[in-house]
Chain A
C-alpha cells in the first residue's frame, strides 16, 4: 500500500513567485493535515481537512497561503506570492481516525526555498 506522497520533494523559487505543493494521502484516509518546519525549529500545524472540508485552518500564517482538497482525495497548498520567510519543509500527514493514535502517517516533506 502506498504511503503519503508529496510532490515536489524540493522547490526553489524567487520571492514573489507562486508555488503549489501537492499531497496524496493514503487511500481511504479522511483526515489530512499540513504542517511546516521552518529553519530547524518546531513543526507547526497549518490546517486540517476532513474529506474535502477544512476542519481547522487556524495555523495558516496569512492569506498568501491557500489549501484545497479536491473531492476529498489529494490536497494542494499554494503560496502566492512567496516570501523569504516561507522557506521551510512542508509536511503532509493523513489518518483515518484520531491523529494521536498510530494511524497517522507523514509524507517525506517538500523543502521550499524562497530566494
Chain B
C-alpha cells in the first residue's frame, strides 16, 4: 500500500511558466512533508518542506501548499527555469519517526 502517491510520472512545462507538481497521501498521521529534487546520477537534495500545522510555505520561486482535508499537497515553481528539469519526490513523516515515506517521483521537463 503506497501511502504517498505522485500520480504524474512526468510533466512538461514551458520555460517561464508555472510548474505544478502534485502529491497525495493516505495517512492522516503524517505531520511533516518534504519535497526533494534529484538530478540524474545524483542523490536527492532537499528543496522545501511544510508542517501539517501550516497550509503554505514559500521559498523564493518555490511554494508548497498543503490541503489536509484533501490529503493533498502541491509544489509550485514560478517561473520555471531550465535548471529545474529534474525528478521531484514528495516525502512525508509522522511523529518523531525518522523514516520518510516517499512517492515515486515526477520527472519535470522544462522546455526552452
Contacts and interface: CB of A to CB of B under 8 A. Distances in A.
B4 A42 contact: yes
A44 B101 CA distance: 7
Contacts of A108: 41-43
Contacts of A99: 93, 98, 100
Contacts of B103: 42
- Could you say which interface size class chain B belongs to? 20 to 34
A55 B98 CA distance: 9
Contact of B46 (A31, A42, A56, A102): A102
A104 interface: yes
Nearest to B31: A100
Interface residues of A, number: 29
B43 A106 contact: yes
A43 B102 contact: yes
Interface of A: 4, 9, 31, 33, 35, 40-45, 48, 55-56, 58-59, 91, 93, 98-102, 104-109
Interface of B: 2, 4, 32, 34, 41-46, 49, 89, 91, 93, 97-105
21 contacts: A4-B43, A33-B98, A35-B102, A40-B104, A40-B105, A42-B104, A43-B91, A43-B100, A43-B102, A44-B102, A48-B99, A59-B99, A93-B43, A99-B93, A100-B32, A100-B100, A102-B49, A105-B43, A105-B45, A106-B44, A109-B43
Given A42-B89, A100-B32, 9 more contacts: A33-B98, A35-B102, A42-B102, A42-B105, A43-B100, A43-B105, A91-B44, A102-B46, A107-B43
